[in-house]
Chains A and B, each alone.
Chain A
Amino acid sequence: MRFRTIYFLPDPISGARVPIALLLEDGRNVSAIRYPHIPGAMCLGGVAEEAAVEMILADIEQRPDFGRLPPSAGPQAFAGEPREVPAVADARRWVDRAVFGLAPDVTSSERVEQHAPHPHRATMGFQFLEKFRVAKFVRKTFQPGKDEGGFLAEANALGTISQYVAGRTELLLMEPILPRRESWKADATSVARSFGAYKTVLRGHPAGRKARLVAYVVPGGSQERRTEIEGLLKPFADQIVDTSSEAARGRFFGHIRVTAISGGYQDPMIQ
């Protein structure tokens, strides 16, 4: 068993370095573990540096490779020399105590969850739609019983849906999934739970306007992760869109446009 520390160089000229993660090789398995005490923006040089660290960490978690860092991590990340882990029953716990210096009753994963910044999933999803210029067709936060003339009032207790597109005969209820987020699994599970509940209500909904539950997975994350997300959502979503495929996102964005226009959307630029 071996480990090596991953450093971020906040200032390449001075050579200052900050440990941000650790790669742990246990047999054939390599895992990336975030340092529990990553300095914040003030210490790293600014919000941009903090965002860079977050991006690099996501890259490393996406493709943990003991031999080399993912090229996307760039020149401000580098891996220290490999070091041996003594023959212990639980290497992760040993790392927590010996390398991170944590107390016996604290684990690094607990610490990381307390400190890592989590950009809001719905916000990130909406930004993605903005990039492709379809956000103008999409409305934020569907509140059942309040939006669209009180549509789906019986789902009032189920909570909101991040985004929706109002068509004449169809309502797209959409949730973004960001596989690069550390909480991707919890996100997918939460969306699956919400969609599952909505599906039950929709089954008993009187005929008329149809609601369609759509999860769109934005680019990023490993293929395994994306596949797992699809597996989690499949039983509950009417449609799962893998937006890393240009063809799939083209169809999806086309559907959004057509739906919005059928619902009376008018481009303010051509009015």
Chain B
Amino acid sequence: MTNQGPSGYMAAVVLAGVRGRGSASSSGRRRRSAGSGSRTALDLFEAAGGRIVCLRRSDAVSSRYQAVLFPQQIKRIRVVQDFDLVRFGNASDAIYAADDKGRRWVKKVLMGSNELLAEAAGWLFSGALDVPTADAAIQPKGAENYWLSGLVEPVTHWDPSRVPFLSNPEGLGAMIALDAIIGNWDRHDGNILVQPTSHGHARVVSIDVAGSWIGTAVDLVSHAGQTPDVDRVAPGIPVDLISESALDVAKEATKLTEATVRRFIREACQLARCSDENVIRDAMVIRCRDAESLVTDYLQKLEKRP
């Protein structure tokens, strides 16, 4: 029914033949329940004046349509084969893995429920705000849910010397905006993947937002209106290069509907078995509303760093 695009876009796939067969006259056709995906898409098709529309997850669509068009977004993968440990500094809690469809993942094995919640919610917001991020999934295993992050290959980590190679500096701006909004204080150089694409060109990819305030209701409430410290943020972030895109993303965040935020937080809380859904949701609705001031404040902090 719906088809997820690579950068946060969802295309409503409409039964193109329906109108052609003359069975979709908007005046004569009886409204059907929202539970049926194809019928709802048809409703949208008509509402859009017979045009096929491309919707972003952040677009204001009534919650009835949201629930059908954008269902649970984090994949559940039951069959996963584990491989070697990821060899990198303190990454001993991560292992390479592959699922039954041959997709490759980095599996995080030591994760508290707050971290899982933060990862899941952070990933959902990343999609809505066009933050370049690795694919994600959950491996349910017994009472545990393991976080799977799509393997990015080949990969290096952030260093200020990467700036001349960046082919998506706006992605770095989006990352910084996301951090300000969800309270991610841990954007160190290992959490900005730099993926070379050819000689002299590389793109940044965001990973690991597990420490973000969004994963813990108390943190979110106690840091209301605040942005994280920048002590741990990777050095040499070119603020002059990314400010504009970061502020664009902030503007996008202000357009996220309450229904969208609710859906993201509900899904993340369900995965992490967290009961603070309402508190986190309310706090995030406010943070999204205030996104422009939060991001501006965060950029200023970064700019003032020695």
A residues near B, CB below 8 A? 9-13, 15, 45, 47-52, 54-56, 58-59, 62, 70-78, 117, 119, 123-124, 127-128, 131-132, 178-180, 218-221, 244, 246, 249-250
Measured between alpha carbons, how far is A79 from B302 in the docked complex, in Å?
A: 33
- Closest chain-A Cβ to B305's Cβ sits at a distance in Å of 10
Which are the 8 A-B pairs with shortest beta-carbon distances? A220-B161, A72-B159, A52-B154, A51-B196, A75-B88, A74-B156, A128-B164, A74-B157
Measured between alpha carbons, how far is A48 from B163 in the docked complex, in Å?
A: 17
Of A13, A48, A178, the residue contacting B196 (CB under 8 A) is A48
CB atoms of B98 and A13 under 8 A apart: yes
The verdict on B238 contacting chain A, using a C-beta distance below 8 Å, is yes
Other 15 A-B pairs with CB < 8 A, given A12-B86, A51-B197: A13-B84, A13-B96, A15-B83, A47-B199, A48-B154, A55-B202, A59-B161, A73-B156, A74-B155, A124-B200, A131-B164, A132-B240, A219-B161, A244-B160, A246-B238
CB atoms of A45 and B164 under 8 A apart: no
CB atoms of A71 and B166 under 8 A apart: no
- Closest chain-A Cβ to B194's Cβ sits at a distance in Å of 8
- Closest chain-A Cβ to B159's Cβ sits at a distance in Å of 4
Interface residues of B toward A: which range?
Answer: 35 or more
Of A15, A49, A123, A246, the residue contacting B200 (CB under 8 A) is A123
What is the chain B residue whose CB lies nearest that of A125?
B164
Measured between alpha carbons, how far is A51 from B239 in the docked complex, in Å?
A: 26
Main secondary structure of the interface of B (DSSP, over half): mixed
CB atoms of A119 and B196 under 8 A apart: no
B residues near A, CB below 8 A? 83-84, 86-89, 91, 96, 98, 104, 151, 153-166, 169, 189-190, 193-202, 236, 238-241, 303
For B193, list chain A residues within 8 Å (CB): 74
How many residue pairs between the two chains, A and B, have CB atoms under 8 Å in the bound complex? 129
CB pairs A–B below 8 angstroms (22 shown): A10-B154, A13-B104, A15-B83, A47-B198, A48-B154, A48-B198, A49-B153, A52-B154, A54-B196, A59-B161, A71-B89, A72-B161, A73-B156, A73-B157, A74-B157, A75-B88, A127-B164, A128-B163, A131-B169, A132-B240, A219-B164, A220-B160
- Closest chain-A Cβ to B27's Cβ sits at a distance in Å of 46
Of B84, B96, B196, the residue contacting A55 (CB under 8 A) is B196
CB atoms of A76 and B155 under 8 A apart: yes
For B194, list chain A residues within 8 Å (CB): 55, 72, 74
Known: A15-B84, A52-B196, A119-B200. A58 touches B154 (CB 8 A): no
CB atoms of B164 and A218 under 8 A apart: yes
For B199, list chain A residues within 8 Å (CB): 47, 50-51, 54, 117, 119
Known: A12-B151, A71-B89, A127-B200. A55 touches B156 (CB 8 A): yes
Known: A12-B86, A48-B195, A131-B241. A75 touches B161 (CB 8 A): no
For A47, list chain B residues within 8 Å (CB): 198-199
Measured between alpha carbons, how far is A78 from B162 in the docked complex, in Å?
A: 20
CB atoms of B241 and A72 under 8 A apart: no
Measured between alpha carbons, how far is A131 from B204 in the docked complex, in Å?
A: 14
Most buried by B among A71, A75, A132: A75
For A55, list chain B residues within 8 Å (CB): 156, 162, 165, 194, 196, 202
For B84, list chain A residues within 8 Å (CB): 12-13, 15
Measured between alpha carbons, how far is A33 from B207 in the docked complex, in Å?
A: 32
Measured between alpha carbons, how far is A51 from B166 in the docked complex, in Å?
A: 13
Of A12, A123, A124, the residue contacting B153 (CB under 8 A) is A12
CB atoms of B159 and A59 under 8 A apart: yes
- Closest chain-A Cβ to B64's Cβ sits at a distance in Å of 41
Measured between alpha carbons, how far is A124 from B166 in the docked complex, in Å?
A: 11
Of A11, A52, A246, the residue contacting B240 (CB under 8 A) is A246
What is the chain A residue whose CB lies nearest that of B155?
A74
For B160, list chain A residues within 8 Å (CB): 219-220, 244
